């Protein structure tokens, strides 16, 4: 049986691989490698347990380097040793994190076929590390899976040499898992907005972070804020207590299913996450994206998603704009079963 090395490191990647993993294990020896990029229990271990992912090889708990490039270099060094020991036949990566890039570069160094799920997405903001990561990964790959027609167009425009397939979005399969799990669960609160923040340009600049929280604190409904460790660290180092924001309820990082329970009941989603823009769309919830651009441009159609940029005082106004129900497309990112189709294409590539 051939071996597929699956390089994961961040919370969104654990989620994306969850629906793929059972199908992959039917035909391959699945070698999950955790780079340690997200290593805290609530950001990693909880997800492996909840999503029933096999125990991974953990390269290092909490890789701490001075820069993302140093972090990537450390991951590559450890991945080379792991690939040398386990001798995989191909490497599978997801998304656009530092772990994605490290997996892609190491596969290229080791002359291993690379498979990239969630390929072709472009925000065209080349100052974003994620944009660099996804472009390089696409062009290192032999097989790529693009979730949208626009993603395919981007790859063809860049003359990407990989085999390009459109099999839908694996996150939709994960969303359906969460929807089924939460079907009989209830929340004791209602009429609230749900907030997440983790991007470096929103969190690492204290002035920006304070402006966002100030604007959100003035909204007409309570705000549930699932706080990322990075954001928590910034507030703590600045000596800013949670009690300064009476309208915001700060929660520890939520599990995947719990996150969807809150998304399901929220009046509106406020986020700088890429994946959550789609998740809000699937829940038919209005989303305000706290960024100047998005790689998920299709969500902007019909007013289901709005880019706020740094005009945080406009958040309340944007929330008040009703989306166009007639322009909602339930199959915008494909139908269920993308995970199974992806594994089928991997089998064809490796001639199984």
Residues acting as catalytic residues: 198
| Tokens 């397939």, located at residue | 165
DSSP string, 109-168: HTT--EEEES-S-----TTSHHHHHHHHHHHH-SEEE-SSHHHHHHHHHTT--SEEE---
Distance (Å, rounded) from C-alpha 337 to C-alpha 304?
A: 24
Q: Where are the alpha helices (DSSP H) in 226-310?
A: 229-237, 256-265, 275-282
Structure tokens at 159: 């003359």
Distance (Å, rounded) from C-alpha 20 to C-alpha 91?
A: 14
Q: Which residues are paired to 144 by β-bridges?
A: 116, 164
Q: Which of 277, 271, 258, 51 is nearest to 174 (CA)?
A: 51
Residue 112 contacts by C-beta under 8 Å, 6 or more apart in sequence?
5, 83, 88, 89, 90, 91
Distance (Å, rounded) from C-alpha 293 to C-alpha 121?
A: 12
Q: What is the dihedral of CA 17, 19, 23, 29, to 10 degrees?
A: 30
């Amino acid at each position: 049986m051939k071996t597929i090395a699956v390089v994961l490191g961040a919370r969104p990647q654990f989620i994306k691989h969850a629906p793929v993993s059972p199908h992959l294990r039917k035909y391959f020896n699945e070698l999950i490698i955790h780079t340690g990029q997200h290593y805290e229990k609530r950001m990693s271990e909880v997800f492996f347990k909840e999503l029933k992912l096999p125990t991974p090889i953990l390269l290092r708990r909490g890789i701490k380097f001075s820069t993302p490039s140093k972090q990537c270099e450390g991951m590559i060094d450890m991945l080379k040793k792991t690939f040398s020991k386990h001798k995989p036949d191909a490497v599978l990566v997801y998304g656009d994190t530092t772990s994605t890039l490290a997996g892609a570069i190491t596969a290229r160094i080791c002359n291993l076929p690379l498979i990239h799920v969630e390929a072709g997405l472009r925000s065209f903001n080349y100052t974003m590390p994620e944009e660099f990561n996804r472009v390089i990964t696409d062009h290192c790959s032999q097989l790529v899976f693009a979730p949208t027609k626009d993603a395919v167009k981007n790859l063809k425009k860049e003359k990407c040499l990989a085999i390009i397939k459109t099999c839908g979005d694996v996150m939709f399969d994960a969303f359906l898992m969460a929807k089924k799990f939460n079907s009989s669960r209830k929340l004791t609160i209602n009429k609230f907005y749900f907030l997440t923040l983790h991007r470096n340009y929103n969190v690492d600049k204290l002035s920006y972070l304070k402006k966002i929280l100030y604007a959100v604190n003035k909204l007409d409904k309570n705000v549930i804020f699932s706080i990322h460790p990075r954001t928590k660290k910034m507030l703590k180092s600045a000596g800013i207590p949670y009690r300064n924001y009476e309208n915001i309820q700060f929660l520890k990082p939520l599990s995947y299913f719990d996150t969807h329970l809150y998304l399901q009941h929220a009046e509106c989603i406020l986020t700088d996450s890429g994946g959550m823009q789609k998740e809000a769309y699937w829940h038919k919830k209005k989303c305000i994206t706290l960024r100047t651009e998005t790689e998920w441009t299709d969500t902007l159609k019909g007013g289901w998603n709005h880019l706020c940029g740094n005009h945080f005082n406009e958040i309340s106004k944007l929330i008040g704009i009703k989306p166009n129900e007639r322009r909602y497309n339930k199959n915008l990112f494909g139908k269920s079963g993308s995970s199974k189709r992806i594994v089928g294409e991997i089998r064809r590539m490796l001639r199984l």
